[in-house]
Amino acid sequence: MRIGMKKLPLGDALLLTVFEHRDERGKFNKYVDSDVLRELKFEVKEVFASSNRKNVVRGLHLQKPNAQARIIWCPYGKVWDVMVDLRKGSETYLKWHAEELSDENGKGVYIPRGFAHGFLSLSEGAYVLYFADSAYDEKVETGIQYDDERIGIKWPLESRPVLSKRDEGFGKFDEKLHAYE
């Protein structure tokens, strides 16, 4: 009953696969595995959940300082989840990677500290769980425009996305503001 882990092309980021049992009643999923958390040196400090309308973009979010590592799951619906490596000196600095996470494919991601995170809701009512290894701090939370040209994320948008006023106000990538040493 172990959650699967596979290396992704950015830094120490991982693709996770939920342990799932299906039968005539439905399905039973495991999202937290103490052995996996120990291996990742990930101590859960907070868990957040968001419910999202279709075509909502959240992000790109980060905390600087007080970076957070995150584990992201989508137990209902479907999202296109994006991470961006903001660690100066990393071989994958300013590179991005996306995975489709859904209740059907059982995928999740582990996003290390020093990354920005965001997602696009591909279905109505997509539900996203965020496990964080440090506390959310609104004083140091910031973000980057989802459509920043320098980062160049190819979002699978059908139309202009729905953004919060805060996310809409994020500026373009600025190394002084957003990069981690």
Give domain 4-178's CATH superfamily: Jelly Rolls (2.60.120.10)
Of 40, 32, 98, 38, which is closest to residue 69 (Cα–Cα)?
A: 40
Q: Is 61 a catalytic residue?
A: yes
Asked whether the predicted pLDDT for residue 55 surpasses 90, the reply is: yes
Q: Could you confirm whether 117 is annotated as catalytic? A: no
Please write the tens of the pLDDT for every residue from 63-87: 998 899 999 999 999 999 999 999 9
The token pair at 110 is 């582990």
| pLDDT, tens only, 98-137 | 999 999 999 999 999 999 999 999 999 999 999 999 999 9
Beta-carbon contacts of residue 127 (< 8 Å; ≥ 6 apart): 49, 50, 51, 52, 74, 75, 76, 77
Q: Given the residues 61, 97, 117, 178, select the one marked as catalytic.
A: 61
The catalytically annotated residue of 97, 110, 130, 180 is 130
Whether the CB-CB separation of 141 and 62 falls below 8 Å is answered with yes
